[in-house]
Chains A and B, each alone.
Chain A
Amino acid sequence: MTIVIAVLLIVGLSFLFTVGLRSGVAVDDGRQASNPQQRPVLGGSDPETHALQRFHIRYYTMTLLFVAFEMEMMFMYPWAVVFVEEGPKALAEMGMFLAILSVGILYGWKEGIFEWE
């Protein structure tokens, strides 16, 4: 229960601080940004379109490999706790697991997923 309160307190205070920066102390005269002020920074040029777009992400294949490793992390947490009890067996098991996943890295490397394709 204390933990939930602590998290809520921290998040609440952080939000309060950010709101306070915006409203409390600023000398801001409440001026709204005018239309020319709202234009995105392009060093003096004017954009044709909105910036938000179906952005061409160049590393999307890498993220698939990332998901595989991130899931593996879930197994590693309990593994770390019982490691000393289980002894060399745990080391061998995790070694095998990582070795299999590492084949994924090699395959991805060969396919060029770490390039900006």
Chain B
Amino acid sequence: MMIFVLAFGMLILFLTFGIWFAAVLDGVFSRRLSGQSAVGLLAPFHAAAVYLTQQRLRTEAPDQLNWFLSIAGYLSVAAIGLAVVPFGPDLAVIGLDTSVVFWGACESLIVVLIFLHGWSPNAPLSLIGAYRYVAIGLPIMLPSMFVLIAAAIPAQSLDLREIVASQETMWNVIRQPLGLPLFLLLGLSLTLRGPFDYADSEDLAGGTSAEDSGANRAGWQVARLAMLVGFSAVASTAFLGGYLGPVLPGFVWLVLKTLVVMATVIWLSHLLARMPVARMLGLIWKILLPISFLDLLWAGLVALA
């Protein structure tokens, strides 16, 4: 019981701190790239306060329930992603023998939630964003789940705790070098960023969030950042050895590695161009998926060697 309360407290702290830090990093990277001075550490709070002072608009004949569910659900799924991550040996909020499967199931729900977010306002631009996202959100899950399963092979378990333990000698990022890069692409897609932002992109004036104002907009942006934190924690656990590390406590190592993954995802999102959706669809099936097969083969051969 005490352990559970401790782990849950760490989860809340990690998530809150992570969301704030992700927002700061995002501002720093985008302003640096555009050749401007960086923003202050409190900027995310100011921006959030602006949304909270604005009226929350509805549209003509919207699906109010699903509008709410998409935002709240996105945040829930993001937090669950963080909850399956072990903060130390046997210190996970959701300590499940099949946590990889559980996380994969949650991750596939995200496609549904993002679709609902674009569908519920009954507006043309968000509707296009919603349908278009599904075309990419679905197939990008295949290579990412393949590499996640490849990470499970040396652990002989679908438990993230076991996967961390199996990296005592060597991290998966070295053992299976193709894994992490492919997995990061999923992160871009789950958090609607950069080259994989087919839902909330500029060519649709914000896409699924084009109709969001006030609290809805604040909630959606917080959920997106929370997803980034959850995803980065899973990525650092599966590929960077999670809480493993010398001298410092395990939790600190996990936080540091999560921040590194987070910064990489944000950096990639500002740097990489987004191609038209049909081109991306072809890229995923014709190139990324075969590469993930290679990763699986590599992981299998290494495990048998």
Contact, chains A and B (beta carbon distance below 8 A): yes
Residues of chain A contacted by B93 (CB below 8 angstroms)? 6, 10
Known: A14-B72, A84-B156, A114-B281. A109 touches B214 (CB 8 A): no
B34 at the A interface (CB under 8 A): no
Closest Cβ of chain B to A2, distance in Å, is: 6
Residues of chain B contacted by A80 (CB below 8 angstroms)? 149-150, 152-153, 156, 158
Q: Is the CB of A98 within 8 A of B56?
A: no
Q: Is the CB of B122 within 8 A of A51?
A: yes
Q: Is the CB of B4 within 8 A of A10?
A: no
Binary contact track B286-305/A, C-beta < 8 Å → 1, others 0: 10011001001100110110
Q: Is the CB of A22 within 8 A of B215?
A: yes
Instruction: Return the chain A residue nearest B205 by Cβ.
Output: A41
Binary contact track B273-293/A, C-beta < 8 Å → 1, others 0: 000011001100110011001
| Interface size of B as a range | 35 or more
Residues of chain A contacted by B127 (CB below 8 angstroms)? 51-53, 55
Cα–Cα, bound, A66→B135 (Å): 10
| Interface size of A as a range | 35 or more
Q: Is the CB of B152 within 8 A of A22?
A: no
B94 at the A interface (CB under 8 A): yes
Some 28 contacts from A to B, beta carbons below 8 A apart, are: A3-B95, A3-B96, A6-B8, A6-B83, A11-B76, A15-B72, A17-B219, A21-B215, A21-B219, A26-B52, A28-B55, A28-B214, A37-B57, A40-B60, A40-B123, A41-B210, A47-B124, A52-B127, A58-B278, A80-B149, A82-B156, A84-B154, A91-B297, A91-B304, A94-B296, A114-B281, A114-B282, A116-B277
List chain A positions with a Cβ less than 8 A from chain B. Answer: 2-3, 6-7, 9-11, 13-15, 17-19, 21-22, 25-29, 31, 33, 37-43, 47, 50-53, 55, 57-59, 62-63, 65-66, 69-70, 73, 76-77, 80-85, 87-88, 90-91, 94-95, 98, 102, 105, 108-109, 114-116
